[in-house]
Structure 1
Amino acid sequence: MESRRQNAAEELPKPAAHRLQRPSWRDSRLVVGVLLVLVATIGGAAAMRHYDNSVEVLQASHPLVPGQQITASDVHAVKVRIDKAGGTYLRADDPMPKGEVLREVRSGELVPRSAVGRSGKVQVKAVALPVEASQSSNLVKGSVVDVWVSTKTQSKVGQDSYAAPTRIIGRATVARVPSGSSGFSVSSDSGAVHVLVPDDKVAAVLEAVNQGAKVDLVPAAGSPLKGD
């Protein structure tokens, strides 16, 4: 009986051992898998490009003040993702805009299309204001100041006296500061600070300066200053 069982076991077919083989490029399943990965990658990149609404617009490299013309050195291109940014800000791929700056654009601010226009729309004038060097030393182009004036009263012998200061302009933009000055300059504007004065205030400011009034420039809150 035992012999019969042994003979029957020997007669059963034995499974052949197969070694694992490295997949070949000829394997259709491998090819299909690679193609699926490529299609997914390309499709994802195309979808991102389709839904990416970022554009390149112009950003101010330094303060831009009313009355100046924009050149390539005044701005640089930045990529932003803002809805309808191309209609609100100057595009980097458009020609450099013609005209003059109509309102202050701070350093690092995106340049709005509305900030540049015809020179006739500029409603301020740069007026040279004589101030003490201690006041002008911390100002820069683009600083925002309040203009205070103390009118000269009847002078005593060898001594000038002034009335209480009055603020005649609030939040005026500095267009230019002297490169180096000392003391108090009245006869020449070489040491004066050029401030953008609204058209309707120019006459009053010039009258005060011509009559020898003392002018003080007080930086407004948040104004950019030297060293900031």
Structure 2
Amino acid sequence: MASLTPPRRAFWADIRFLVGIALVALSIASVWLIISAADDAVPALQATRTITQGEALSSDDFRVVDVGLGSVADGYLGPGDIGAGSVAARTLRNGELVPTSALTDADSSRSTTVVIQSSTGIPEGVEAGTVVEIWQAPPLDEGRSYDVPRILVADVIVHDVLDPEGVLADTGSQLEVVIDRADVADVLAAITGGAALSVVPVGSGS
């Protein structure tokens, strides 16, 4: 009696089996990568608006986000790192993660804010965080004319663009700017001396 030979399994069945194993392995690897990434994520502070240098900080200025920072995690602020009297050591843009170097205390800050009136209006695009130069044209002939304009203070940060109301609306455009305390006397002297002040964005070809 002839023996029965079992039928050979089709080649496509072997391929399907191998593909199935590969898909299972890929799924396991993906889950492992997701878990590993989650383990590396740490809570960090992210600015919810543009914050200018010298501005007092509070927890309301930030949101907490989980970010995989790896070995540089210690270089960024997390929840609870904003203490009383903290100010921005530099301008922080909306959405920026906050490095520890961007935080200082009010006593160590060398900057303050001053409101100036621009006699030539405010250039388009100037907003909070914009770096500008302040130019002055000293008065001549008891204010009937003005001297050649010159730079009063360079690299000034705009804190806010103000909208004058009432009688002030016809006196020109006003800006609140962040300046070094060492420059305050010169700016105030120009204001009280009747100089015509203007702002020019840095990098505009002035």
Please state which band the TM-score falls in when normalised by the shorter chain.
0.7 to 0.9
1:102 corresponds in structure 2 to 89
CA contact (8 A) 2:136 2:190 kept: yes
The two structures, once aligned, show a CA RMSD in angstroms of 3.5
CA contact (8 A) 1:58 1:77 kept: yes
Identity of aligned residues (%): 23
Which stretches in structure 2 are left out of the alignment for 5+ residues?
9-16
Write 1 or 2 for the structure with the bigger share of strand.
Answer: 2
How much does 1:138 deviate? Answer: 4.1
2:191 corresponds in structure 1 to 209
CA contact (8 A) 1:125 1:196 kept: yes
Q: 1:146 aligns with which of 127, 130, 133?
A: 133
What's the TM-score once normalised by structure 2's chain length?
A: 0.73
Give the number of aligned pairs.
Answer: 187
Q: Does 1:67 align with 2:54?
A: yes
Which stretches in structure 1 are left out of the alignment for 5+ residues?
1-12, 21-29, 186-190, 223-228
Q: 2:175 aligns with which of 187, 193, 209?
A: 193
Could you tell which deviates more after superposition, 109-118 or 55-64? 55-64
How much does 1:109 deviate? Answer: 2.8
Measured against aligned partners, the alpha-carbon deviations of 1:8-35 in whole angstroms (never above 9, x if no partner) come to xxxxx23347689xxxxxxxxx9xx98x
How much does 1:146 deviate? Answer: 0.5
What's the TM-score once normalised by structure 1's chain length?
A: 0.67
Measured against aligned partners, the alpha-carbon deviations of 1:98-137 in whole angstroms (never above 9, x if no partner) come to 2111222223332111211211111111001011473166
Aligned CA distance change for structure 1 residues 211 and 103 (closer, same or farther; 3 Å) = same
CA contact (8 A) 1:72 1:96 kept: no
2:11 corresponds in structure 1 to none
Measured against aligned partners, the alpha-carbon deviations of 1:64-96 in whole angstroms (never above 9, x if no partner) come to 1133233344333445444532211113xx215
- SS for the counterpart of 1:97 is coil
Amino acid at match of 1:212: G
Larger Cα Rg: Structure 1 or Structure 2?
1
Hey, what's the Cα distance between the residues in 1 that align with 2:155 and 2:59?
Answer: 28
- SS for the counterpart of 1:65 is coil
Measured against aligned partners, the alpha-carbon deviations of 1:24-77 in whole angstroms (never above 9, x if no partner) come to xxxxxx9xx98xx57x92797179718974544323232211332333443334
Amino acid at match of 1:107: N
